[in-house]
Structure 1
Amino acid sequence: MSKRPPKRKPGAQPGNTNAVKHGLYRRHLDDDGRAAFDEALHIGPANLTQDIAACRERIDRLIKADSDNLDILARMINALARLAATHFHLSGSDTERLTDAMRNVLADIEATLGPDGRSPKGGS
């Protein structure tokens, strides 16, 4: 009687990288997007500094383009606060650093909306 190979589990086998090379996300990207995707694969999951910086840049752009759009601005600031808190929890930073980060976020909000909670451009 011949020996049967061990029964395989369904789906991709250990070590299979097809999902990375040909997966759902990657196949819908252009060449620049694929390059950025491949680069992002090598960034540690706990490192959110680039995401935080990108979020801050987008908030700054939004303020310059349309500071009266408070709904989108509030969502972006909320996303920034969540990113900062998540980064804190993943990096094991001390409380003082989180407090400083949150103060910076709140200062950005006040600078954007003004101390009375309204846009400095004279929004409603």
Structure 2
Amino acid sequence: MTTQGGISGLRVLVVEDDYWVAATLVEIITEADAEVVGPVDCVRDALTALDSSPHVASLDVQLGSETSFPIADELDRRGVPFIFATGAASMIPAAHASRPTCHKPASRELLIGALSGALNPA
């Protein structure tokens, strides 16, 4: 699915409620020659965006008054790999604790590395 650990040619769902962080994630993912699905900023819109069949997803944990865990559960159910790109890693429940986490603010290398790692677990 990936070439040499990259995300080129893949669809990446971005779930992020902070405009500037979302814009940065979109820029990084687009520069890696991947297609961005979203960004979306709430659980409802993210679940709807799953109809576009993303290959991998990046989830912020805290989305305003919501958390992204219902999205994580649905991605897991569908077999879609994902990462948490968050500043609230301590909130991640045990069910998803083994998922790659990219602490914000994330560099290009860390974000692409985490997404690639989710696609190609060791």
Provide the TM-score with structure 1 as the length reference: 0.24
- TM-score scaled to structure 2, two decimals? 0.25
Q: Which structure dedicates a bigger proportion of its chain to strand?
A: 2
* Relative contact order, higher structure (CA 8 A, sep 6+): 2
Larger radius of gyration: 1
User: Comparing both structures, which one devotes a greater share of its residues to helix?
Assistant: 1
